Structures are given as C-alpha cells and as structure tokens.
Amino acid sequence: MQGTPPQPRVAVLGAGSWGTALAALTARHGCPTTLWGRDAECVAAIDSEHRNPRYLPDLELPESLRATTDLPGALRDAELVLVVVPSHAFAETLRALAPHRPAAAGVAWATKGFEPGSGRFLHEVAGEVLGDGVPLAVVTGPSFAKEVAAGLPTALTVHSDTPAFAQSVADVLHGPAFRAYTGDDMLGAELGGAMKNVLAVATGVADGMELGLNARAGLITRGLNEMLRLNQAIGGKAETLMGLAGLGDLVLTCTGDLSRNRRLGLALGRGQSIEEAVRAIGQVVESVQTADEVMRQAQRHGIELPISSAVQAVLHGDITPADGLRQLLAREQKPEYPHGLFQ
Ligand SMILES: NC(=O)C1=CN([C@@H]2O[C@H](COP(=O)(O)OP(=O)(O)OC[C@H]3O[C@@H](n4cnc5c(N)ncnc54)[C@H](OP(=O)(O)O)[C@@H]3O)[C@@H](O)[C@H]2O)C=CC1
Ligand SMILES: O=C(CO)COP(=O)(O)O
C-alpha cells in the first residue's frame, strides 16, 4: 500500500506577521516547518505558547510549528527556504543564509519591494548572492497576514523561471482555504507587489481627506495604468499585472484597512506627520522606501507616473496631500489611452 509522500521541510526566515502566517500555513499543511526570527522573546512565545505576541497576538499557531533564533539550525535539512523579511533586510538575510543552505533547497521570498538604494529587483539580488543554479521564486498576491493566519480563503501566485520550483512552492502553500497559482514572470510579479504599496498610500490619502469613492476608484484605475506602463517598459508580462500580483493586490491594499500602506496614507490625509503615522502602525511600511525606487525605475525608462510621483513627494514632505491633489487635478486633459493600453 502506498502512503502519502512526506511533505517537504520548510524554513521560513522572518518572524513578523507575514512570515508567521506563512509558516503557520505550511505547518498546517503537514510540512515540518521551522520559523527563524531574531527576537528571542517573540521566538520563544511562538515555540512554546503557539502565539506571536508582537505581530499576530490574537491568533493561535499550530503546535507543530517550531521557532528558533538559530539560523543554521533552521536551515539544516530544509528542502525549501522561504524568506519573509522586509525589503531593507532582504540582501543581508540572503547573505546570512547562503553558507547554510542545503544544496538541494530552492529559495522563495514573499518580501515586497526593491533593494533600497540600488533599486534592484529582489530576484536580481537573490541571483547575485546565491549564484547560478539555485531555483528562485517570488510569492505574491492579495494576502493580509491576519486573514491567512485565521484560515480565511486566500489566492496568491508563485512566479519562477524554473516551472518545477514554482509548482513545488505552490504545492506547499496550496490547501483547503488557500489557492496558490503559478507563473513564470518574476519581473512583473515583483513590480506589481512593490508598486501597489505606493498606490495604496495614494488612495489612503484621498480617503483620509474624504475625497469620496469616485476619487478612490479613479486612483485605483489610473494607478493600475501606471503599473502596466512601467511593467511594459521593464519587460514584464501584462497578464501578470492584470492578475493576483497586480490588480488583485492593488484592490486589496487600496481598499482594505488592514493594509499598513493604506493606513499610512489615511493618516497623512488626515494631517498626521509621516513619523507619527509610521510609529503608530508599528510594523513595516514598504512604500516609504519603495516610492523612491519606483520613481528611479520610471526615470530610468523615461516613464511619467503622476500618482506615484505625488506619493513620493508627499512622503518626503516636499508637498502636502492637498498640493498633491491639486497637481493631479491640474494635469492636462487627454485621451485615456493616447498610445494604446500601455503607453
Ligand atoms: N503582513 C502582510 O500581510 C504581508 C506582508 N508582505 C511583505 O512581507 C514582508 C515582511 O512584512 P511583515 O512580516 O508584514 O512585516 P512585520 O513588520 O510584521 O515584521 C517584520 C519582521 O521582520 C523582522 N526584521 C526586520 N529587520 C530585520 C533584519 N534586519 N533581519 C531579520 N529580521 C528582520 C522583524 O524583526 P523584529 O521584530 O526583531 O524587528 C519582524 O519579525 C514585507 O516586504 C511585506 O511587504 C507581503 C504580503 C502580506
Ligand atoms: O501586501 C500586503 C497584502 O497583500 C500587505 O499590505 P501592507 O504591507 O500594506 O499591509
């Protein structure tokens, strides 16, 4: 009689809200899962009390989930490594994991953003740090950690240049309440996940200023247009941005108050300072750095992105939200698609 094949051993690096939620998911799916974090107190609580008191305080985690501050220990025997640290810690985490990665273990990440300063895509960073021949994948899509940890239905997507690796990552994530799709466009998938955070600030600002639902819908639609145009210029696939990695995550983050980037926008629109708002949110808010990197990409490719540019200026305190609104409304009238869908 044939038994069920053993589930792969998973090491999740990053014990914040998303790393904890994904580790809980793979543990619930029967994968022996070890979560690595740098905060000993938080890690001990996950390991022994099955709770993450700082990042997901109300949710019970599976008893089978192990947590540790020992990185080499977490990686020992791992068959899949899932990196879920913020983008500013991505390169250093990859450099720390590289010498301890079991030779057969591919590396996936659920981080959204670019390498701050260089603006490099995370798959470029991973390729450089890990070298050729290591299967790489990006896990992205509309997925609030709190809802995933609570077992609510979610769909996301895994993109890789190595189709078998995308499939194996999707297999460990896919389950009764979680649909994991696959794709082969890491560029488009990473761009969508990064840009939606910037655009969520824009809709948050508009809602904070009580500009109404028409304004919100207009910003989402023209924001999608900015994503599609930059994606076209960098060589991503349009369908990636029309799917979970783009439109799906854009709608979630622009409309859902669980979004930290949207909440930052709401606070700015209501007149709070960026420092106050970020402190009150108390978790990573990727748009703060991503806005600069999106605009760096746009300049490199000669693409005009009025909404993202206004968000960048507001985040830097160069203009007020009201100035940003005036700038957008004062733009010249023109056809919705002067040069076709993506120009
Ligand atoms: N939360 C969500 O719903 C989703 C998040 N994401 C993405 O996942 C990534 C992680 O976000 P999220 O988990 O939400 O963030 P959180 O703010 O919830 O947690 C951040 C985690 O990263 C750790 N960390 C910060 N700096 C470092 C470092 N230098 N080395 C190691 N660990 C570090 C923090 O540790 P410490 O507590 O010690 O500071 C903490 O455990 C982001 O790119 C985000 O955009 C993607 C989809 C959904
Ligand atoms: O990426 C996310 C949902 O898909 C989480 O968004 P925030 O980082 O804005 O909370």
> Catalytic annotation on 196?
yes
Q: Is 126 helix (H, G, I), strand (E, B) or coil?
A: helix
pLDDT for 284-294, tens place per residue? 999 999 999 99
| Element housing 238 (H / E) | helix 238-241
Ligand 1 atom nearest residue 258's Cα: 3
| Token pair recorded at residue 183 | 């794709």
**pLDDT-above-70 percentage for the chain:** 98
Compute, in angstroms, the gap from residue 36 CA to the centroid of ligand 1. 12
Which residues, including other chains, have CB under 8 Å from residue 147's CB and lie 6 or more apart? 154, 258
How many whole angstroms separate alpha carbon 222 and alpha carbon 225?
5
Establish whether 259 is an annotated binding residue: yes
Compute, in angstroms, the gap from residue 253 CA to the centroid of ligand 2. 6
**Reported pTM:** 0.97
Catalytic choice (146, 196, 237, 334): 196
The pLDDT assigned to 340 comes to 75
The pLDDT assigned to 224 comes to 98
pLDDT for 77-109, tens place per residue? 999 999 999 999 999 999 999 999 999 999 999
Strand partners, 12: 35, 82
Compute, in angstroms, the gap from residue 85 CA to the centroid of ligand 1. 4
Is residue 252 in contact with ligand 2, taking CB distance under 6 Å? yes
The pLDDT assigned to 91 comes to 98
pLDDT for 183-237, tens place per residue? 999 999 999 999 999 999 999 999 999 999 999 999 999 999 999 999 999 999 9
Compute, in angstroms, the gap from residue 37 CA to the centroid of ligand 1. 10
Which position has the token pair 């799917």? Answer: 243
Label residue 1 by pLDDT band (50, 70, 90).
very low
Closest to 148 (Cα-Cα) out of 59, 81, 83: 59
| Token pair recorded at residue 168 | 């194996």
DSSP for 119-157?
--BHHHHHHHHH-TT--EEEEESS--HHHHHTT--EEEE
The pLDDT assigned to 3 comes to 65
pLDDT for 101-148, tens place per residue? 999 999 999 999 999 999 999 999 999 999 999 999 999 999 999 999
Ligand 1 atom nearest residue 286's Cα: 45
Per-position b or e across 244-256, b if 16+ CB within 10 A of its CB: bbbbbbbbbbbbe
Yes or no: say if 173 and 156 are a contact pair by the CB < 8 Å rule: yes
**Ligand 1: which of 12, 13, 18 to mutate, judged by most atoms within 8 Å of the beta carbon?**
18
324: exposed, middle or buried (C-beta count within 10 Å: 0-12, 13-18, 19+)?
Answer: buried
**Ligand 1: which of 85, 158, 260, 286 to mutate, judged by most atoms within 8 Å of the beta carbon?**
85
**Ligand 2: which of 154, 198, 260, 287 to mutate, judged by most atoms within 8 Å of the beta carbon?**
260
Establish whether 257 is an annotated binding residue: no
Give φ, ψ of 182 to 5 degrees.
Answer: -130, 160
Closest to 173 (Cα-Cα) out of 193, 185, 159: 159
Establish whether 146 is an annotated binding residue: no
Give the dihedral sign, CA 28/31/35/41.
positive
Compute, in angstroms, the gap from residue 18 CA to the centroid of ligand 2. 9
Is residue 111 in contact with ligand 2, taking CB distance under 6 Å? no
